[in-house]
Amino acid sequence: MSEPRPSDRHDASDPDDAFAEIVDEATQRDPDLAVIEAGSRTLRTRSGPPQGQAAPARPADPEVDKALREVEQELAGRWGETKLEPSVTRIAALMDVLGEPQRAYPSIHITGTNGKTSTARMIEALFGAFDLRTGRYTSPHVQSITERISLDGAPIDPERFVEAYRDIQPYVELVDGRQPYRLSFFEVLTGMAYAAFADAPVDVAVVEVGMGGSWDATNVIDAQVAVVTPIALDHTDRLGSTPAEIAVEKAGIIKPDATVVLAQQPVDAAQVMLKKAVEVDATVAREGMEFGVVSREVAVGGQRLTLRGLGGEYDDVFLPLYGAHQAHNAAVALCAVEAFFGVGAERPGPLDVDTVREAFASVLSPGRLEVVRSSPTVVLDAAHNPAGARATADGITEAFGFSRLIGVVGVSDDKDVKGLLEAFEPIFAEVVVTQNSTPRAMDADALAAIAVEVFGEERVQVEPRLDDALEAAITLAEEEGEYAGAGVLVTGSVITVGEARLLLGGH
């Protein structure tokens, strides 16, 4: 990948002046955006907001299930998502032999530490409401690998997933034979997604990075809108030990002349992003300045918002998700879609407010403060780092008001486990520590030792099997009686939440 061209509008020898200028005038320049023309170039499979499944189950047809398991097994034989070689060489080679499918449609690229998937789902819902055909690529999945590749708001069906893999398999093997390392699990999935989107075809792709930005496999697209959700400490062994260091890597998705939508960030991370925007002559929209959350109030089943976008205010927006963090994700998603359509630049005024309301009211985000059982209430949330845990703790306190909350926690062994537990300590009366079924899971006894440091021995129970942990937590919650208002929160890992969702019958 060639180095980005410094802006012709700024003196490259005077970065301080350039930085000051972007802070003062970032949003005054007209972005050079490719806006989808009126009238679709595709046939619609549906109109309006997406109505697909939140998380699919296994295929009912035994033959289809067998074919999907074969593909899953072949993918599992490759480097996993935690084994990385920081380069886009292999994925670029795959795109080359596939005919550059990722250039067949415009895209929005999303990086950050927390909130990426929820934001992607909101962006997708907004595009669907405005009758654009969408492709969405997110990771990891909650229940089924097919969730990672969505068309028109629904995960592609298992047959299509298998077909997408078999279609590119000969090209994957060709690239494998020419590279020092075979394509990884994530690289092959990325190739499948980009090819499936071109084949559909989609009007716009909404793409979430797997990790970082610059060398992430998704970063072979030239997105006209780059979204950066809040940056916090995670994957510090690969991305850096401070928000600023992590931001350097994540800023790699910002392309020349793009629009950058920045969620609220630590100051040092924001500075990195703004300086990168100067270098590539990108336009910046910052939460709290050019857009943001004007007001929010808890409502039955979610929250009611007033959002300020690039084109004006959008009031009386119902979002069926809990927590202040989801309101901020909504503001970011709205700004990203406005930027894509040229609002604030080529197009004056806001988007149609009724369409925006319809879109947000349809949003689903499995495993994000999701209620999957009542009496007692069991909530699932995929928080897996301290920043995410703090947002979850605030959200569940605000929305539910449990008299007593029992935690079920299973984590991966490469996370800041103590920091995560400390974020939950004020809201958990007791915690049941467990482990999920993957090799990355931290051993339940090792997790218990850390939990005892945080909670004290009397508040920690160990159940290595997740089904036993769920039963133990529900029993503890039921001790207060049917009407006492106790609840259970399952958290610590997307994988733990996905397995719990299956055990509890979530759909």
Under 8 Å between Cβ of 395 and 322: yes
Answer yes or no: is pLDDT of 195 > 90: yes
Burial (CB count within 10 angstroms: exposed 0-12, middle 13-18, buried 19+), residue 457? exposed
- Cβ-in-10-Å burial (0-12, 13-18, 19+) of 75 comes to middle
What gap in Å lies between CA 39 and CA 98, rounded to an integer?
A: 28
Burial class of 91 by CB neighbour count within 10 A (0 to 12, 13 to 18, 19+): buried
Structure tokens at 68: 């999907």
Position 123 pLDDT exceeds 80: yes
Q: What is the 3-state secondary structure (H, E, C) of 317-359?
A: EEECCCCHHHHHHHHHHHHHHHHHHCECCCECCCCCHHHHHHH
Three-class secondary structure assignment of 439-468: CCECCHHHHHHHHHHHHCHHHEEECCCHHH
Residue 52: per-residue pLDDT:
41
What are the tens digits of pLDDT across the range 268-277?
999 999 999 9
In degrees and rounded to multiples of 5, residue 198 shows phi and psi of -70, -35
Report residue 169 as tokens: 């398999």
Span 131-164, pLDDT tens digits? 999 999 998 888 889 999 999 999 999 999 999 9
- Is the pLDDT confidence value at 205 over 60? yes
Q: What digits encode the pLDDT tens for the residues 282-322?
A: 999 999 999 999 999 999 999 999 999 999 999 999 999 99
pLDDT for position 31:
30
Q: What is the pTM of this model?
A: 0.84
Would you give the DSSP letter of residue 412? B
Per DSSP, the three-state class of 375 is coil
H/E stretch holding 123: helix 116-129
CA angle, residues 237, 230, 380, in degrees to nearest 5: 85
Q: How many whole angstroms separate alpha carbon 186 and alpha carbon 269?
A: 26
pLDDT confidence tier of residue 59, bands split at 50, 70 and 90: confident
Nearest-angstrom CA–CA distance, 338 and 345: 10
DSSP 69: H
The two structure tokens encoding residue 55:
């998380």
Phi, psi of 409 (to 5 degrees): -125, 125
Instruction: Determine contact, residues 401/427, Cβ cutoff 8 Å.
Output: no
